[in-house]
Amino acid sequence: MLELGQDEIAKYPFLADAGQYLKDKGFTLEQFGTDPDLKQLVDKAFDRIQVAANGKIYKSDLVEAQVSKEAALPREVFSFLLAIVLLKLSGMHTLIKRFSLAEARRAEKYLEKDLANISDESKKELAIRVIDDLFSVQVEKLDDYFVIPVSDYLKHSINFHEREWKLINRHVENGQVFLTPHETVRLIRKELGTYINSKIINAKTPAMISGFEDSVNKLVSLSKKFVTFTVTTGEYPPCIKHVIEVLEKGENLPHSGRFMLASFLLSKGQSVEQIAPLFKNAPDYNERVTLYQLNHLAGISGSGTKYTCPSCEKLKTQDLCFAIPECDNIINPLQFGKKRK
């Protein structure tokens, strides 16, 4: 466990042991529901969730000038801990997800600042240690950059869909990737969100605390705003249409194209028996092999893993993407034609 100072807990409250923190400060959760001075903090916690739910980052009182103020720091931590209590009491997973992501982005700002702040050695070290402890990424400072091993970089960058994050679009030298403080922190955003999310999910749900009911009820109705319905047009995306055309003409389709088509149709609910005849025209068609491979993809034989359709980015590099305007920034062909209502 990292040793943290008061201002560090305020910046990275998810690193604190919540129960222990309250105990150390001499409070119980019940007091927050009854004591009028402390109750303000429950409202503050509610605000913190509401801001997150709307996709914004909670603006804290932690403006540089105020950091020294003894009172501001614990308030900051309390509002985070109470927000978790409220979320647990409401049981609304969509809100927990949104809250985790927003908190991750908030912490990201501080991490970035701490990394860039080279005049203060200890701050830089904390940021580097947080990244190493939580995400096993070994960051080293090299001139104006932060460098991390290519293998560590890849483990995180594969979660990004933008081309700028591909290794080819990075400065790579000597087995290491060169990043700015901003990029270093951005690299672990998703994992930071996942980390905070799992901490909340794994936290114990307390019994309803008197004085918390109002806020909890408001959260339940707030979460209804985020329920979405999707409708699908049912039309195939251009990449799928293209490979079907190739097969119909009896031309040879590379393995990657066959994989895409089969995994796409399986995900859309078609059976192996429905899909197999599509490959009949292939010059090297062999019924036994086709069925074996389809069953394998469907998870019926072999390891039992169900394969899913490759991402648009992957298909681009395999020359299988024929994007049209209707693709509209989807990241997987399976999303084609889906509209939120």
Partner 1 sequence: MKETDIKFLEDSFKKYYFEHFDLISVPERTSEREFGYQKFNSGMIRHISIKNDKELHLLFMQNIPSDVYCSNAYYTFPNLPMNEKDWKEADLIFDIDAKDLNLSCRENHTVSICNECNEVSKNSEHCLKCNSIKIEKKSLPCKNCIDSSKTEVSKLSEVLIDDLAIAKENIYVYFSGNEGFHVYVYDSQFQQIGSRERSELTDYIMFNASIPETFGMKRFKPNRSSFPDFNEKGWRGRFSKHVFCSKSKRSKIISELIVNGYPAFQKTIDDVAEKIGVKIDPNVTMDIHRIFRLPGSINSKSGLTKIRCKNLTEFDPYIKASFLSDDSVEVFANCPIEFCLKNKKFGPYTNEKVTIPIFAAVYMICKKLATIA
| Chain contacts with partner 1 (rule: CB under 8 A) | 149-151, 154-155, 157-158, 163-164, 166-176, 250, 255-256, 283-285, 302-305, 313-314, 316-317
Task: Return left, alpha or beta for 319; rule: phi > 0 is left, psi -120 to 50 is alpha, else beta.
Answer: left
- Pick the closer one to partner 1 by CB: 182 or 218: 182
Smallest distance, Å, CB 335 to partner 1? 19
Residue 322 CB-density burial (10 A; 0-12 exposed, 13-18 middle, 19+ buried): middle
8 Å CB contact between 90 and 179: no
Q: How far is the CB of 278 from partner 1 (least distance, A)?
A: 16
d(CA 94, CA 223): 7
**Pick 125 or 173: Cβ nearer partner 1:** 173
> Rounded CA gap, 224 and 95, in Å?
10
The phi and psi torsions of 140 (rounded to 5 degrees) equal: -130, 150
Smallest gap from Cβ 255 to partner 1, in A, equals 7
Residue keyed to tokens 């025209």: 281
Shortest Å, Cβ 161 to partner 1 = 11
CB of 121 to partner 1, least distance (A): 28
**Closest to partner 1 by CB, 202 or 303:** 303
Q: Is 227 helix (H, G, I), strand (E, B) or coil?
A: coil
End-to-end CA distance of the chain: 45
Residue nearer to partner 1 on the CB measure, 80 or 153? 153
- Beta carbon nearer to partner 1, 155 or 190: 155
Closest of 305, 314, 300 to residue 257, by C-alpha: 314
